[in-house]
Amino acid sequence: MNLNDEQRREIYENLLFARRFEETVLEAYESGGVPELPHLSIGQEAVGVGATYALSEDDWIAPSLRTRAPILMRVPLKEVTAGMYGTVSGPSEGRTTQHHMGSTEHGILGTTGMVGSHLNAAVGAGLSSRQLGDDRVSAVFFGDGATTRGEFHTALNYAAVEDLPVVFIIENNGWTEETPIEQVTAVEEDLIEFAGHDLPSSVVDGQDADEVLAATSEAVDRAREGNGPTLLEMKTYRYRPHAEVIQERRDEAEIKRWKQRDPVKIYRDRLLDDGVVDEAWLEDLDASLREEIEASFEFAQNDPAPPEETMYHVYKDVEVDRDGGVVR
Amino acid sequence: MNLNDEQRREIYENLLFARRFEETVLEAYESGGVPELPHLSIGQEAVGVGATYALSEDDWIAPSLRTRAPILMRVPLKEVTAGMYGTVSGPSEGRTTQHHMGSTEHGILGTTGMVGSHLNAAVGAGLSSRQLGDDRVSAVFFGDGATTRGEFHTALNYAAVEDLPVVFIIENNGWTEETPIEQVTAVEEDLIEFAGHDLPSSVVDGQDADEVLAATSEAVDRAREGNGPTLLEMKTYRYRPHAEVIQERRDEAEIKRWKQRDPVKIYRDRLLDDGVVDEAWLEDLDASLREEIEASFEFAQNDPAPPEETMYHVYKDVEVDRDGGVVR
Amino acid sequence: MSEHTVRESINRALAEELERDERVFLYGEDVGDYGGLYQVTDGLQDRFGEERVFDTPLSETTLGGTAVGAALTGTRPVVEIMFGDFMAIIADQITNFAAKMYFNYGDGTGVPMVVRTTYGAGDQFGLHHSQSPIGWFQNVPGIKIVAPSTPHDYKGLLKASIRDDDPVIFLENKLRYEDEGEVPDGEYTVPLCRSERKRKGEDVTVVAIGGMVDVAMEAAERLEADGVDAEVIDPRTVVPLDKEPIFDSVRKTHRLVIVHEAATFGGFGGEIAAEVAEEALFYLDAPIERVGAPFTPVPFAENLEEAYLPDEEDVIEAVQNTLGR
Amino acid sequence: MSEHTVRESINRALAEELERDERVFLYGEDVGDYGGLYQVTDGLQDRFGEERVFDTPLSETTLGGTAVGAALTGTRPVVEIMFGDFMAIIADQITNFAAKMYFNYGDGTGVPMVVRTTYGAGDQFGLHHSQSPIGWFQNVPGIKIVAPSTPHDYKGLLKASIRDDDPVIFLENKLRYEDEGEVPDGEYTVPLCRSERKRKGEDVTVVAIGGMVDVAMEAAERLEADGVDAEVIDPRTVVPLDKEPIFDSVRKTHRLVIVHEAATFGGFGGEIAAEVAEEALFYLDAPIERVGAPFTPVPFAENLEEAYLPDEEDVIEAVQNTLGR
Ligand SMILES: Cc1ncc(C[n+]2csc(CCOP(=O)(O)OP(=O)(O)O)c2C)c(N)n1
Ligand SMILES: Cc1ncc(C[n+]2csc(CCOP(=O)(O)OP(=O)(O)O)c2C)c(N)n1
Ligand SMILES: [Mg+2]
Ligand SMILES: [Mg+2]
């Protein structure tokens, strides 16, 4: 994929957008509180941005809890922010958080809070694609921890056996909640070793959006041409603890080392070096993103709470009362 | 493991014993019927016999539905046969079949009818061994089909990460119930490829009890020395359909080809060649095994049905009535 | 009308829906070439091709998980889970995923998947191939559980299930595949979430589920000879429940017997009894009777399994109890 | 006696049992060095070492499966499953394995494992981290389900669960970890399978489960001011059930209210109601009332979750209903 300057600027915009958004979430959480407990992806933005950029708009994305960028790239911001506040304008009108939101319009597969259970669902989207002959690719994001679940094996195997158009993207940030991944995975070096399956795989620098984009594009092409799934391991890192309630217990040196390869900075420096942007453009962008983000928080904070009926939205094809009785 | 003549004869005895036993089951099923639907392992005897022979008596065995030989080697025959008839002398007094029987005395891990769910249980036996420091190894047998379940990945990973004393033995007979295994597994050639895990593995000729024994012995030694699990893939074949109700749909030529490498015949010929046994000994053995087996069927057919109380055996530590009420 | 078995009815329902809607596809262990362990999908791969009817790895989590994903993305998967006991393996996919996505989406996206599975004791298949999994999912909002009782209903309810936009667990009693009954020759469906009165009566209401409907009907025949006029109600869909017809019937007969195959304790009969004890308590002239299995796994030995499984005698006795005889 | 929180009580119970019996070990996701998401196992790895208290991969099936295997082979594993919602992932290991092995063995081998897990709504954790999984296992013979309500009972019941030879699901309400109460300083256990009358009363029986016991107790206090004398029974172990004390109480008060946190429909309250409708029907002066959640997933928005979760007002209203007020 050869990028023109506009595209490169767009990628940077998305990186910075995700960064600024989550920084604002953190501030809001630390000052007044945010109803949805933040599980921030700060530090990992290049994975979601680069990979999403490699997909067509109507390809399916199955994000993990940690995959914020694709959501922000596809879903109107006010909706996402409202989703964190549980107000009526959120993606499910306050019924659920935005973490695991689903949207058919935006090509986001709804997910559960069970880390890794969505891998097979993403393979199911691949099945749909084959049944309908519509060439849609499905990209599923998941953490290193999720590779230790049975779904990793079963989903990879089925996608590979059936040559389904699925791209498996490990966001390897080195940690489950509080356990270092090498402590619980029997691999020598990389998590892709885990997959004995007969499918192409590679390790990618997850801090470099261009690398992510290149690797994902290749995988997407392969999938769209009917040549089956690919497994990509993106090496990345989260700057914050698993969730904001959780005590940090990782090495400060480790965190510091990773911050030296910050995905936003890497991209900005490259664009500056290549003369694609200048400082003024960067400042303008930052200001306008901050403004948009602020506005979304203001919107969400003033958005009304959902009426009680909102939660009686359980069956699509029959009316059921709150006691499980069919309304005739 | 260097075998003396007596040991070699013993191995042959066990091979023939398993063979004759299951032939008798088949006859009984085809004439009068046997309450437990037979899932015969005829053709696969060398795997169970060779592997069990490599274990100490107090090592744990976690058999699959198809693993008949280890049961026959460890559990009194009358008990096994009664188990098929559901009579009081069976391993659970008629509550359950003998297929998934458990016995602490005989070191057999009870199993469920869910193919592959016992892999993690066998790893749990490895945990016990570590906790108790008792050096017991746990050997788990499972079919090729079971390698497509999530338990295959999760159990191998955990055993390897914790260096637990577990030997994983795939009885690869090439078929699940009615689906050829290569159709549903994304490997190039062998199922051991499936395990990207960092643990030793090898492919073994499952029709040759000596090969099975050698490979398993090595794995058992490794486990007992604290060097963790091993994965062995035994190439084998069942002569009968998955279960006796099921229509055969495999190629006749395929069945024929495998019968040319019959595990009982291979071993007999070798013993004859080496002068370890002669025809007379073989005939005597056959006659005495047949007699013993016949006697067990006669026993089982005359063994009484269990009294109704037998099934109210659900909780060990509290008396509960048939309606789930605690008896005070 | 013509006579068909339950097996034929299901097979025809699948064929008709595969024919009607190209978004429908059918997959599971050995359902393709072999036609399924119980031969329910026999001939369908030949007719519709390997892309519409196909075998899978031996992984129920893949079946459950991919079905949810497929249903969320525009197709209508029909999955076969060989034995209902294996529903425990996909409890996560059912409970946390399929049942909750309509709630989790804001745009009306549904989860039009059907999980067909077998259930029930009586063939000496033992504790792991004989269970009735209704109890495991009866407390899960968002799932529909359908348990038909006649060839007619099997066909019509399966077609309706496939067309339904909610996830459906479709329960097939493995002792009933050979049962025969009248089935219309033309196209029809039977609506989900509607119970049916299978027999009109005045003296006692018997609510029976799935394979137990026949047992209840035969008990009712024998009771008639004894001068007892039993009404038999078949909920057909148990979750969510069409309650009013049950209340109405109890208000008329003043007696209630509930029959299902799973253990009584903690089973779905408790829900029905509780509903009536809340809504129609003072209409009851006798304590509610539940007929079900004892609180044990399904035993293997023939005599034990017979003692375990509820039968006509048990229903008759329960009815007599409500009549104070 | 001294004051302790529920968290401390559990931590001490674990420490005492690890100390007492070297066959006991404790494992789960992040339970080691970190001390568990809710810090319940804090300090235990330091004290007992990495061989007795340790972290695992993020695989609940491994946790469930290895625990069964370990329990069958001479040790007494205590597993932490971070959220009760994840119990659906190990439904196979619980339902088909742990619950059935004593039945499947003929030599008295038991399955002495404990699965500790959190449950319950009220902290805006949303539909996948707030469920009450009792309903998923209430129809499974062979499992014990324990749901304590006070620091005293948490400690005593957990110690008894670890010593018990049957598999136990031990439910910890995540809103209650900070609750304080009197706990004896010395060694004690609280027997499984025995309910307790938490409050004596004459006018109405309230059976409450787990986190709802406190809600019921507070409702009872307020009702007393209103001249209503409520008896509160805490089953503590819900499967199997200590039924007689409930029947006795209803025979005395003639009124029954059942309170639990899961959805009413299909939930455990149905079982209790059905039992009473069978055993003590004619003692009832009013329809049985069940207080529970509506038949929806647990909603996220604060106001919705509040409306969802049963509270004192709901209990009081139900009691008033039984009194015809
Ligand atoms: C099935 C399941 N088990 C445990 C958890 C609790 N949990 C939430 S996130 C997490 C760690 C996930 O680690 P990883 O997959 O590496 O993703 P990351 O958070 O690092 O992006 C855990 C254990 C869960 N949500 N689901
Ligand atoms: C979890 C589960 N899924 C499906 C089945 C039905 N079933 C029983 S045996 C079998 C095939 C097993 O194949 P394999 O593992 O290769 O063992 P084999 O019978 O060939 O020894 C299947 C699908 C089952 N018992 N358990
Ligand atoms: Mg991680
Ligand atoms: Mg096989």
Same domain, C102 and C235: no
Question: Is the CB of residue A32 less than 8 Å from the CB of residue A230?
Answer: no
Same domain, D165 and D229: no
Same domain, C148 and C22: yes
Same domain, C169 and C200: no
Residues 6+ away with beta carbon under 8 Å from B301:
B85
What span, in angstroms and rounded, lies between the C-alpha atoms of D62 and D68? 10
- Domains in chain A with CATH codes: 14-303 (3.40.50.970)
SS3 letters for A242-283?
CCCCCCCCCCHHHHHHHHCCCHHHHHHHHHHHCCCCCHHHHH
The predicted structure's pLDDT at residue C53: 98
CA angle centred on B266, ends B263 and B270, rounded to 5°: 140
C129 is catalytic: yes
- Which single residue is written with the structure tokens 């024994």? B213
Res C111 pLDDT > 80: yes
Q: Residue C188: inside a domain, yes or no?
A: no
Give contacts of A315 with chain C, Cβ < 8 Å. 102, 142, 144, 166, 240
Tokens linked to C288: 């509610």
Cα-to-centroid distance, B48 and ligand 2 (Å): 18
The predicted structure's pLDDT at residue A118: 98
Cα-to-centroid distance, C112 and ligand 1 (Å): 28
Pairwise CB contact (< 8 Å): A148 & D301? no
Residues 6+ away with beta carbon under 8 Å from B221:
none
* Residue D36 touches chain C, beta carbons under 8 Å: no
Cα-to-centroid distance, B177 and ligand 2 (Å): 6
| Beta-strand pair B138-143/B166-172 | parallel
Domain boundary among C122, C154, C183: C183
The predicted structure's pLDDT at residue D292: 98
Q: H or E segment at C206?
A: strand C204-208
- What number is the ipTM of this complex? 0.98
Same domain, D171 and D220: no
How many angstroms separate the first and last alpha carbons of chain B? 57
| Residue of chain C nearest B243, judged by CA positions | C37
Q: Which residues of D are catalytic?
A: 129
Range of the domain at D250: 196-322
Which of B129, B134, B325 has its CB closest to that of D240? Answer: B325
Which sign, positive or negative, has the C-alpha torsion C183, C188, C189, C195? negative
Q: Is the CB of B94 under 6 A from ligand 2?
A: no
Average the pLDDT over D134-140 and give the result.
98
pLDDT tens per residue, range C209-220:
999 999 999 999
SS3 letters for B199-264?
CCEEEEECCCHHHHHHHHHHHHHHHHCCCCCEEEEEECCCCCCCCCCCCCCCCHHHHHHHHCCCHH
Cα-to-centroid distance, C29 and ligand 2 (Å): 9
Q: Is the CB of A178 under 6 A from ligand 1?
A: no
Q: Residue C189: inside a domain, yes or no?
A: no
pLDDT tens per residue, range A28-54:
999 989 999 999 999 999 999 999 999
Among residues of chain D, what percentage have pLDDT more than 90? 99
Question: Is the CB of residue A49 less than 8 Å from the CB of residue A11?
Answer: yes
Res D325 pLDDT > 90: no
Cis peptide before D240 (omega within 30 of 0): yes
Cα-to-centroid distance, A66 and ligand 3 (Å): 9
pLDDT tens per residue, range A75-102:
999 999 999 999 999 999 999 999 999 9
pLDDT tens per residue, range D13-55:
999 999 999 999 999 999 999 999 999 999 999 999 999 999 9
Among residues of chain C, what percentage have pLDDT more than 70? 100
Question: Is the CB of residue A246 less than 8 Å from the CB of residue A38?
Answer: no
Q: Is the CB of B113 under 6 A from ligand 2?
A: yes
| Average pLDDT value over all residues in chain B | 97
The predicted structure's pLDDT at residue C196: 98
Same domain, D164 and D281: no
Ligand 4 (ion): residues with CB under 5 Å are: B 143-144, 173, 175
Res A1 pLDDT > 80: no
Average the pLDDT over C128-152 and give the result.
98
CATH code of the domain containing D22: 3.40.50.970
Same domain, C164 and C143: yes
Q: Residue C244: inside a domain, yes or no?
A: yes
How many other C-beta atoms lie within 10 A of the C-beta of residue D225? 7
| Average pLDDT value over all residues in chain D | 97
Q: How far is CA C62 from CA A71, A183, B186, C29, in A?
A: 25, 27, 14, 11
Question: Is the CB of residue B242 less than 8 Å from the CB of residue B37?
Answer: no
Tokens linked to B198: 């960092």
Residue A249: pLDDT band with limits 50, 70, 90: confident
What span, in angstroms and rounded, lies between the C-alpha atoms of C237 and C194? 7
How many angstroms separate the first and last alpha carbons of chain A? 57
What span, in angstroms and rounded, lies between the C-alpha atoms of A129 and A114? 24
Pairwise CB contact (< 8 Å): B123 & D66? yes
Pairwise CB contact (< 8 Å): B196 & A196? yes
The predicted structure's pLDDT at residue A32: 87
Range 276-295 of D in CB contact (< 8 A) with A: 294-295
Same domain, C168 and C236: no
Range 224-283 of B in CB contact (< 8 A) with C: 246-247, 249
| Residue of chain C nearest D60, judged by CA positions | C92
The predicted structure's pLDDT at residue C325: 82
**Residue of A115, A118, A142, A149 with the most ligand 1 atoms within 8 Å of its CB, for mutation:** A115
Determine if residue A107 is left, alpha or beta; phi over 0 gives left, psi from -120 to 50 gives alpha, anything else beta.
left
Range 45-74 of A in CB contact (< 8 A) with B: none
Which of B62, B102, B326 has its CB closest to that of D104? Answer: B102
Pairwise CB contact (< 8 Å): D302 & A305? yes
Which of C66, C193, C275 has its CB closest to that of A120? Answer: C66
B41 CA to chain C: closest CA distance, Å? 18
pLDDT tens per residue, range D188-204:
999 999 999 999 999 99
A279 CA to chain B: closest CA distance, Å? 48
Domain boundary among D152, D183, D214: D183
Q: Residue C140: inside a domain, yes or no?
A: yes
How many angstroms separate the first and last alpha carbons of chain D? 41
The residue that leads in pLDDT, A1 or D232, is D232
* Residue A179 touches chain B, beta carbons under 8 Å: no
Residues constituting chain D: 325
Same domain, C164 and C219: no
The predicted structure's pLDDT at residue A153: 98
Same domain, C146 and C283: no
Q: What are phi and psi of A116, to 5 degrees?
A: 95, -15
* Residue C165 touches chain A, beta carbons under 8 Å: yes
Across-strand partners of C145? C169, C239
Res B126 pLDDT > 80: yes
Q: Is the CB of B145 under 6 A from ligand 2?
A: yes
Q: H or E segment at B18?
A: helix B5-30
Q: Residue D188: inside a domain, yes or no?
A: no
Across-strand partners of A168? A140, A231
Question: Does residue C111 sit in helix, strand or coil?
Answer: coil
Same domain, D303 and D160: no
Give contacts of A132 with chain C, Cβ < 8 Å. 23, 74-75
Exposure b/e, C256-265, CB count within 10 A at least 16 = b: bbbbbbbbbb
CA angle centred on D271, ends D265 and D274, rounded to 5°: 105
* Residue C65 touches chain B, beta carbons under 8 Å: no
Res D85 pLDDT > 80: yes
Residue C101: pLDDT band with limits 50, 70, 90: very high
Same domain, C52 and C117: yes
Cα within 13 Å of Cα(D317), Cβ side: 8
Q: How far is CA D67 from CA B111, C325, D20, in A?
A: 14, 50, 20
Res B249 pLDDT > 90: no
* Residue C217 touches chain D, beta carbons under 8 Å: no
Radius of gyration of chain D (CA): 19
The residue that leads in pLDDT, B249 or D224, is D224
Pairwise CB contact (< 8 Å): C241 & A324? yes
pLDDT tens per residue, range A163-209:
999 999 999 999 999 999 999 999 999 999 999 999 999 999 999 99
Res D110 pLDDT > 90: yes
Burial class (CB in 10 A: 0-12, 13-18, 19+), A214: middle
Which sign, positive or negative, has the C-alpha torsion A27, A15, A92, D211? negative
Give contacts of D284 with chain C, Cβ < 8 Å. 277, 281
Nearest to B95 by CA among B303, B319, B305, B316: B305
Cα-to-centroid distance, D124 and ligand 1 (Å): 18
* Residue C56 touches chain A, beta carbons under 8 Å: yes
What span, in angstroms and rounded, lies between the C-alpha atoms of D143 and D114? 10
Mutate to test the interface with C, among A117, A315, A321 (most CBs of C within 10 A): A315
Range 192-211 of B in CB contact (< 8 A) with A: 192-199
The predicted structure's pLDDT at residue A2: 85
The predicted structure's pLDDT at residue B2: 85
Burial class (CB in 10 A: 0-12, 13-18, 19+), B105: exposed
The predicted structure's pLDDT at residue C20: 98
Q: H or E segment at C197?
A: strand C196-199
Q: Residue D49: inside a domain, yes or no?
A: yes
Average the pLDDT over B173-202 and give the result.
95
What span, in angstroms and rounded, lies between the C-alpha atoms of C137 and C80? 17
* Residue D67 touches chain B, beta carbons under 8 Å: yes
pLDDT tens per residue, range A9-32:
999 999 999 999 999 999 999 998
pLDDT tens per residue, range C21-63:
999 999 999 999 999 999 999 999 999 999 999 999 999 999 9
Which of A113, A146, A246 has its CB closest to that of D128? Answer: A113
Q: Which ligand neighbours the alpha carbon of A43 most closely?
A: 1
Which of C139, C262, C277 has its CB closest to that of D263? Answer: C139
Question: Is the CB of residue C250 less than 8 Å from the CB of residue C280?
Answer: yes
Give contacts of B179 with chain C, Cβ < 8 Å. 29-30, 32, 34, 55
Q: How far is CA B282 from CA B5, B42, B263, B264, C4, in A?
A: 14, 19, 15, 12, 56
What span, in angstroms and rounded, lies between the C-alpha atoms of D318 and D325? 10
Tokens linked to D189: 């256990």
Which of B96, B101, B154 has its CB closest to that of D62? Answer: B154
| Beta-strand pair D53-55/D24-28 | parallel
Res C165 pLDDT > 90: yes
Structure letter (DSSP) for residue D207: E
Q: Residue D190: inside a domain, yes or no?
A: no
Question: Does residue D213 sit in helix, strand or coil?
Answer: helix
Across-strand partners of A140? A62, A168
Nearest to C112 by CA among C19, C24, C187: C24
Question: Does residue A82 sit in helix, strand or coil?
Answer: helix
Tell me which of C4, C128, C129, C152 is the catalytic residue: C129
CATH code of the domain containing D302: 3.40.50.920
Cα-to-centroid distance, B143 and ligand 2 (Å): 7
Domain boundary among C183, C212, C242: C183
Q: How far is CA D133 from CA A219, B323, D128, D170, in A?
A: 40, 21, 11, 11
- Which single residue is written with the structure tokens 């057909």? C236
Q: Is the CB of A76 under 6 A from ligand 1?
A: no
Q: Which ligand neighbours the alpha carbon of C58 most closely?
A: 2
Domain count, chain D: 2
Q: Residue D291: inside a domain, yes or no?
A: yes
